[in-house]
Amino acid sequence: MYKPRPTITALKLSLLTLMMFAFGFLLVPIYDVICDVTGLNGKTSGERYRVTSTAVDQSRSVRVQLITMNNDNMSWEFKPMQQQLVVNPGQVMETQFYAKNPRQFSMIAQAVPSISPARAAAYFHKTECFCFNQQTLLAGQDIYMPLRFIVNQELPKDITTITLSYTLFDITNGFNGKQVAVVH
């Protein structure tokens, strides 16, 4: 009868544990790459888009709805200045969002975007966005934050409405006393 040696069994179990840890550790970056490439889950690229064409498709229009929400621990007032825009694919559009820190202390926030329907994310390009950087506001301070975007002309014809949603997160505690620039 075969009896496995304890050293080989322990080595195999250790290797299996290490592989499971590595897989779990790499899961988030792999998911982020897949979402960036495919637009899965409505995740948009966190990078600035470079305009390469100025042609505008005047023959059709797309409605872009803007929605904001705060994460559970975020107390800022946060809203779009326009809740809906009508754009022609290829047209550079600009709008603004308003944020106010009502607290008695400085806070740092990060906005995380999401696009719906998810397949539209590959055709929605931000050239300037407050979501590219953290926003630091002093106690009682408010700010108007720009968003400039282009809906690609190759957007499938059956997509007539795109919803851009931002969730605002309080990331103040993540800085642990580090110096951060204050928005004026």
* Residue 42 CA from chain centroid, whole number: 9
Q: pLDDT tens digits, residue range 138-160?
A: 999 999 999 999 999 999 999 99
pLDDT tier at 5, thresholds 50, 70, 90: confident
Tokens of 10: 């322990």
* Residue 107 CA from chain centroid, whole number: 19
Residue 181 has pLDDT above 50, yes or no: no
pTM > 0.75: yes or no: no
Under 8 Å CB-to-CB from 132, ≥6 apart: which residues?
Answer: 46, 47, 48, 126
Q: What is the pLDDT of residue 3?
A: 66
Q: What is the pLDDT of residue 35?
A: 59
Strand, coil or helix: 165: strand
Under 8 Å CB-to-CB from 10, ≥6 apart: which residues?
Answer: none
Indicate the pairing of strand 142-151 with strand 92-100.
antiparallel
Q: pLDDT tens digits, residue range 98-142?
A: 999 999 999 999 999 999 999 999 999 999 999 999 999 999 999
From CA 117, how far away is CA 119, in angstroms rounded? 6
Question: Domain spanning 42-175 has what CATH number?
Answer: 2.60.370.10
Q: pLDDT tens digits, residue range 51-103?
A: 555 688 899 999 999 999 999 889 999 999 999 999 999 999 999 999 999 99
